[in-house]
Structure 1
């Protein structure tokens, strides 16, 4: 191919000649999901979203952004790596037709996809996802009757090291930066590291940890003494790496010095990964998805660390959708994570999000004697009055239960109370206190949720809830969402957003072709 064909990338450069059209017409299959996607999806609107991240006034023309987006789509649609999707596009005419490029047109290399993801970031891919949902709304595919929400775990793409190995990895990364700034200082730290290794070779693990931590702290102090700004623009990249490794080192040092605080950094390779519980302990992230119950289109998706608060993220998902599309969700169904007082109050606030929440309540421990609701809070909410007219001591709190207040009644008064057998039948003469009462700040929200769980409306909505579990299964099993492709929260978000984008495209094609229907269920 002559040099003229390898001119700078332009949209005109990718115009398909008539001779290629004739070949495409003869070899393309009669039916294919890619052909349907090319025809039925509004790629022009998606192109506008992607182009907003490019500057077209300066420099050589870039590869048309829509081609890059379609390459990403193909990668997630067929679960191909960057190199494999480019290789497939070189030989597969169906792929080339989907890209809308001439048969002999050169394609970008796989590194271009990495730069494309870096250019758009999670924000850009989220805009593309939102645009697809907006197009679905314009085609009247979405309803606002009911949202189904669920989350699942995503395994980090790393081997989680021991604390000793973590400190060793951190030390090596810090020394890489030191070596670029001052070769002599790097050699000094390397000699010190070897000395520490030899001196502690036969020592206990705790001694090894302490000595290696002290070395990391010494290197960190050296890095902290470096000027905050690069001495010249040519070293700007190095100073950004310096700032990043310094921040990571400070976090890991705090984790080691203050064990038991939670939110530990587990890996230098993927510093955003955290340990969480989903059936059993795992390391990685959590993908949180909200879906329209009628069309089964995913309307929002978010990725949070494995130890993140799913209830708080539910509020975030609802806010994102309603702010982005200006709609009003009527109802949302969640699993047991939805039985959360702060979340229930925020979502169901008539002056706020005004969303009716359907969630199975947790089993309530039956209290022997009078229920806590029989004890009345005083005006200042610092004491309660029991059914017998006695006033408790001042409220006190437990660190692990920040939304609850505890009130104790004096032992002497309780023993003398005629209602003791009804109020505190388990009290013993050896007890230190009389009756203890727990008042939850969100007691009203919890009681409303429990009452709602006894209604026919609750049963109807819960019959629809398994649809979101099937959608989660499609994400994590059929599209590889169970394991992170990349390192870092932002990049894992890109993976899950594009996975949901592809799944939505597949669903939209079925809806538009009439293979499935948007059906609003009604009460029987």
Structure 2
């Protein structure tokens, strides 16, 4: 159950004695003076059982410690030490000098409760409310800028052999637990003991330069995995109370085999060529993905999507995306979150060209929202790009750089999705053909479902207002730079 902090301060609390010494204008002094308003125990009642269990550390105290931990960028161990020995923390938290307020495990458990109960937005809103109280936020109509930054995952990224071994180990541990046996004895009984050594690959006595031997080891691992899946299916029927947990671990192993392994024509297994788009890369953090922030910069983990109020430069929205997700995913959800947190209407959303695709523009247009973002550039090798052609959707015609016009339109779907095609004879005789047509046929121009929206965006981006908004997008990069230092 939830422990609560006494409304009556301690007589010898550090903030009564050392507040001026630490400084009223410091963050520690600010927290000391306003912590009762900023963090209240009742705000976190949802995290606890109301009438059962031992009283917890007051959540107002625990969240204050997490706040200081982020501000000073220290580990959980160091945070606990500072609650004991750092005068600034004693003042900020209202502790007496001999107080030991919390243990590391309790602080980590409280943070996990915040995450599991999705309390991040409520804490973000509380910080914005405080900023409004202090005069940093003064309007109920705002403009926000969006961007993403890589967030490295904590799970170990391994090759196919060790990744499959991790999947086998995880499911084996689950089945041993369900059977009420020690994992060592259960694994030995089932002939799976090699998966519980220091490293499957390190202990495999094979020539790693020999593909046949590598494939033989992979075949053995897959065979063990499939046998384990059969045992899991049997355990689900025998222990229905554990069905969900067994199924989750079995599905994980099954996916690992499916994504990385293929059958050889003559029997046996080999590693698949290429990489699946949504490949799972860690058993211990299954949501991690291979991500790419640019053509040359890759990472393993997730993406953090951020919304920043362009006037106050305060972060007003945060979402977590898969590492391989497009930056524009959940862009509208981020805007909705910004409106809830800021208690304001978002009048304009600004992003880079990742947010400028047709589907994203349509989603914003459907909600009658202004989205300012560069239209992704079109490329056509050494030939004229699509933007070199004048597309008139009202008259349904396209004019090429040589001045030729086509009205021949071939639809490939609804909402005018399709392409315009120039006459073959026209293209064959054109003096600009070598700069326009790469192949044998005539030039064609693809038309998106959202072509009109893209045309409007290009025109708006060339106005002084549009150019100004695109320049001001840099505030989100500043916000991310501050965020990643936490």
TM-score (norm: length of structure 1): 0.73
- Measured in 2, the distance between the counterparts of 1:429 and 1:271 equals 46
Residue 201 (structure 2) pairs with residue 187 (structure 1): no
Change (3 A) 1:423 1:181: farther
Residue 225 (structure 2) pairs with residue 216 (structure 1): yes
Select the residue among 300, 304, 308 that pairs with 2:317. Answer: 300
Tell me the equivalent position of 1:52: 46
Q: Give how far 1:432 is off.
A: 6.0
Tell me the equivalent position of 2:75: 81
Check whether the contact 2:353–2:373 (CA below 8 A) recurs between aligned residues. yes
Select the residue among 258, 275, 284 that pairs with 1:254. Answer: 258
Tell me the equivalent position of 1:67: 61
Task: Report the aligned-residue RMSD.
Answer: 3.8
Check whether the contact 1:49–1:128 (CA below 8 A) recurs between aligned residues. no
Check whether the contact 1:166–1:266 (CA below 8 A) recurs between aligned residues. yes
Which fold has the larger relative contact order, with Cα–Cα distance below 8 Å and residues 6 or more apart in sequence? 1
Q: Give how far 1:408 is off.
A: 6.0
Tell me the equivalent position of 1:201: 206
Check whether the contact 1:369–1:425 (CA below 8 A) recurs between aligned residues. no
Change (3 A) 1:163 1:223: same
Select the residue among 163, 169, 172 that pairs with 2:160. Answer: 163
Change (3 A) 1:452 1:421: farther
Tell me the equivalent position of 2:461: 453
Q: Which moves more between the two structures, 18-27 or 309-318? A: 18-27
Q: Which moves more between the two structures, 81-90 or 93-102? A: 93-102
Number of equivalenced pairs = 444
- Measured in 1, the distance between the counterparts of 2:474 and 2:435 equals 45
Q: Give how far 1:459 is off.
A: 2.3
Change (3 A) 1:30 1:230: same
Residue 362 (structure 2) pairs with residue 362 (structure 1): no
Residue by residue, what CA displacement relative to the aligned partner does 1:255-303 show, whole Å, maximum 9, x if unpaired? 1247543111111122211101113121111111111111111100112
Select the residue among 410, 428, 449 that pairs with 1:441. Answer: 449
Structure 2 unaligned segments of length 5 or more: list them: 263-271, 397-403
Change (3 A) 1:261 1:457: same
Check whether the contact 1:369–1:423 (CA below 8 A) recurs between aligned residues. no
Select the residue among 469, 473, 484 that pairs with 2:477. Answer: 469
Select the residue among 418, 426, 430 that pairs with 1:405. Answer: 418
Alignment of 1:363-442 (within 5 A): 363-365=377-379, 366-367=384-385, 371=389, 373=391, 387=405, 392=410, 395=412, 405-406=418-419, 414-415=424-425, 421=429, 425=433, 433-442=441-450
- Measured in 1, the distance between the counterparts of 2:305 and 2:351 equals 11
Residue 147 (structure 2) pairs with residue 130 (structure 1): no
Change (3 A) 1:253 1:463: same
Residue by residue, what CA displacement relative to the aligned partner does 1:399-433 show, whole Å, maximum 9, x if unpaired? xxxx9635667xxx733x6x874699459999764
SS at match of 1:289: strand
TM-score (norm: length of structure 2): 0.78
- Measured in 1, the distance between the counterparts of 2:61 and 2:15 equals 22
Alignment of 1:71-110 (within 5 A): 71-110=65-104
Residue by residue, what CA displacement relative to the aligned partner does 1:216-237 show, whole Å, maximum 9, x if unpaired? 12212211332269567xxx6x
Residue by residue, what CA displacement relative to the aligned partner does 1:55-96 show, whole Å, maximum 9, x if unpaired? 333333221110110111111111111121111111123212
Structure 1 unaligned segments of length 5 or more: list them: 1-7, 379-385, 398-402, 480-524
SS at match of 2:302: strand
